[in-house]
């Protein structure tokens, strides 16, 4: 039909933490959702999987983006820009990108927080 029914799954070190709502029949989804999770200081990566819901078979994986500890070390004040979706299944072609903003915030008491905002997707 030329459209998808996308939703996202956020994983921290391969453990699913968040599932967004499905946005029906679009190639430019907007969720407008916010979540706050505790990120262990020893975490390795935060991955955002973009999925396509399918009522008749298993959901398709459109692609993913991954924010690693190394990426945060390279951008200590944060990162903002478009990131291309990468493949999850090597047999599947991946198209699409996410405009991502990642900030490392210092809170009172010296604790650090990671704020990850998905601004747009296409």
Tell me the per-residue pLDDT of 41-88, one tens digit each, with 9 for 90 and over.
888 999 999 999 998 999 999 999 999 989 988 998 889 999 999 999
Sheet holding 79-84, edge to edge: 79-84, 97-106, 112-121
**Is 1 domain-assigned?**
no
pLDDT of 108 higher than 80: no
For the residues 16-20, what does the mean pLDDT come to? 94
Residue 17 is predicted with a pLDDT of 94
Please list, in sequence order, all residues whose beta carbon lies within 8 angstroms of the beta carbon of residue 25, skipping any fewer than 6 positions away.
1, 3, 4, 5
pLDDT of 112 higher than 80: no
Q: What is the DSSP-derived secondary structure letter of residue 57?
A: S
Confidence of residue 114 (pLDDT cuts 50, 70, 90): confident
Residue 54 is predicted with a pLDDT of 94
Check which CATH number belongs to the domain holding 107 and give it.
Answer: 2.60.40.150
**Is 29 domain-assigned?**
yes
| Residue among 19, 73, 105 nearest 114 (CA) | 105
Q: How many domains does the chain have?
A: 1
pLDDT of 89 higher than 70: yes
**Is 79 domain-assigned?**
yes
Residue 115: domain span: 6-121
pLDDT of 23 higher than 90: yes
Percentage of the chain lying above the pLDDT 90 cut: 47
């Amino acid at each position: 039909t030329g459209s998808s029914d996308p939703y996202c799954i956020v994983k921290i070190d391969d453990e699913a933490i968040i599932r967004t709502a499905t946005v029906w029949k679009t190639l430019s989804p907007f969720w407008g959702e916010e979540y706050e999770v505790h990120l262990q200081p020893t975490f390795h990566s935060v991955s955002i999987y973009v999925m396509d819901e399918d009522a008749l078979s298993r959901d398709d994986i459109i692609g993913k983006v991954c924010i690693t500890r190394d990426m945060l070390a390279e951008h200590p004040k944060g990162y903002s820009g478009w990131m291309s979706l990468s493949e999850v299944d090597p047999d599947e072609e991946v198209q699409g990108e996410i405009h991502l903003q990642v900030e490392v915030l210092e809170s009172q008491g010296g604790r650090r927080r990671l704020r990850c905002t998905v601004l747009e997707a296409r």
